Amino acid sequence: MRDKFVVALAVAAGVLLAFNLYRIFLVLPDEALQGAIYRIIFFHVPAAITGMIGYFAALLLSLAYLSFGNFRYDSLAASVVEVSVVFSVVNIVTGSIWARVIWGIWWTWDYRLTSALVCVLIFSGYLMLRRAIDEPTQRARLSAALCVFGCIDVVIVWKSIEWFRTQHPGPVLSIRTGGGRIDPAMEQMLYLNFAAILMIAIALVLIRTRQEATAREIDSLRRIANAA
């Protein structure tokens, strides 16, 4: 049942992504000032939002693990962080490509770029910590604690670096600006592609969660075999 759901979700995400790609590259016109490169926003912004949603979900799942001690929450948190890091890297790479064309540089120490990089570093530390601990209960407990610290730190990092330096373009989505900063057709496309990327992320999380559960089962069987 669950396998069928994952396959159905992945297929639906694939179909929606194909439709979006057709619209993005063949239907929507170039942007007046930026030309064709503006299309990267349809991947850059959804990847950033997906990553952020993932970190917030990981915080809740880590708190749930610390409260209830159920390994399902730990597996889910680890999978969510892993997928979120991937989408954050997509966000940084697409942003870098856009910056090279528009600003003429691959990287600038702007607050959002720096904050996004710090997020990736904090949660890469989380993934490295998990690899460094063999004992499953200890691994789940300590990585949940690190996740809580990391998520709360991300909020302070974001505000600090915003006060420190700002160069990034301002928000464009109507939900933040009240409208007028982006063409409605482009904004609709942005939301549609966000839906496709979020569906891909959920499918990846479900696949990774099952792998985590299987890895834990194999590990416990190995321990039993070694003890016998």
Residues that bind other proteins (CB under 8 A): 66, 118, 121-122, 125, 128-129, 132-133, 138, 141-142, 144-146, 148-150, 152-153, 156-157, 159-161, 163-164
Q: How far is the CB of 127 from other proteins (least distance, A)?
A: 11
Q: Which is nearer to other proteins, 34 or 158 (CB)?
A: 158
Q: Which is nearer to other proteins, 151 or 197 (CB)?
A: 151
Task: Give the gyration radius of the chain's Cα atoms.
Answer: 20
- Residue that the structure tokens 């939002």 belong to: 49
DSSP for the chain reads -HHHHHHHHHHHHHHHHHHHHHIIIIISPPBTTTBGGGGGHHHHHHHHHHHHHHHHHHHHHHHHHHHH--HHHHHHHHHHHHHHHHHHHHHHHHHHHHHHHHTS-S----HHHHHHHHHHHHHHHHHHHHHH--SHHHHHHHHHHHHHHHHHHHHHHHHHHHHH---SPPP-SHHHH-SSSS-HHHHHHHHHHHHHHHHHHHHHHHHHHHHHHHHHHHHHHHHHHHH-
Q: How far is the CB of 62 from other proteins (least distance, A)?
A: 10
Q: Which is nearer to other proteins, 63 or 173 (CB)?
A: 63
Q: How far is the CB of 118 from other proteins (least distance, A)?
A: 5
Q: How far is the C-alpha of 85 from the C-alpha of 73, rounded, in Å?
A: 18
In 3D, which of 30, 219, 46 has the Cα closest to residue 140?
219
Structure tokens that stand for 141 in this block: 């407990």
